[in-house]
Amino acid sequence: MDRVSYALGMSVANNIKASGVKNLKVADFAAAMEDVFAGKECRLGTHEAQELLNGFFRELQQSQIREMKEDGEKFLAENGRKEGVVTLPSGLQYKVLKEGKGTKPTAERKVKCHYEGKLINGTVFDSSYARNAPAVFPVNGVIQGWVEALQLMNEGSQWELYIPYNLAYGERGAGESIPPYAALVFKVELLEVL
């Protein structure tokens, strides 16, 4: 049972850490575990403990949102000063890696693209290159930053896009990979206008 107990402790600790809790008083945590498992009276009532945790996680989430926004704004401000980076009035930034000679798609057209999406810390969250399968989609069926950029690209172009959160997935994020308020970086290759 020692190994199972340790494994349960690891699992709980990993879940707590993944939720964004950076500091935990392990002695108090262990005391609560002991009190509950021994059937002793706990220092906090169930309702009081739940209210305390709700407030703590609400504050933690707000802090994470502020940090994500600030990190994105700082990244885009610094990135916008780099050579070759163009900043559009919307806040979208791009750098031309390769200029194509083909036509530019309109919002109603479909396109075939290869792409790689990353968070500003470099974490890749999606890549058609990794799947070795370009994506086909309508220009107006993707995030706003892509809609704007694709209509400026010539077929055959490859650009790197730097997208502020409000032109990406906004305050909702996307799944487990893209947190709310995340600025994103995409390498996009416009293979074909369909």
Is 186 marked active-site?
Answer: yes
pTM to 2 decimals?
Answer: 0.81
In the structure encoding, which two tokens stand for residue 67, read together? 């940090």
5: helix, coil or strand?
helix
44-48 own/partner pairs: CB under 8 Å, 24+ apart: none
Domains in the chain: ranges and CATH: 2-75 (1.10.287.460), 86-193 (3.10.50.40)
Q: What is the pLDDT of residue 20?
A: 84
Q: Is 169 exposed, middle or buried (0-12, 13-18, 19+ CB in 10 A)?
A: buried
Is 125 marked active-site?
Answer: yes
Q: Please tell me which residue in 163, 169, 178, 181 is annotated as part of the active site.
A: 169
Q: Please tell me which residue in 29, 65, 71, 125 is annotated as part of the active site.
A: 125
**pLDDT, tens only, 35-53:** 999 999 999 999 999 999 9
The stretches in the chain having pLDDT less than 50 are: none
Is 126 marked active-site?
Answer: yes
Which stretches within the chain are classed as H helix? 2-18, 26-38, 46-79, 128-131, 144-150
Q: Please tell me which residue in 115, 162, 165, 181 is annotated as part of the active site.
A: 115
**Cα four-point dihedral sign 193, 140, 159, 95:** positive
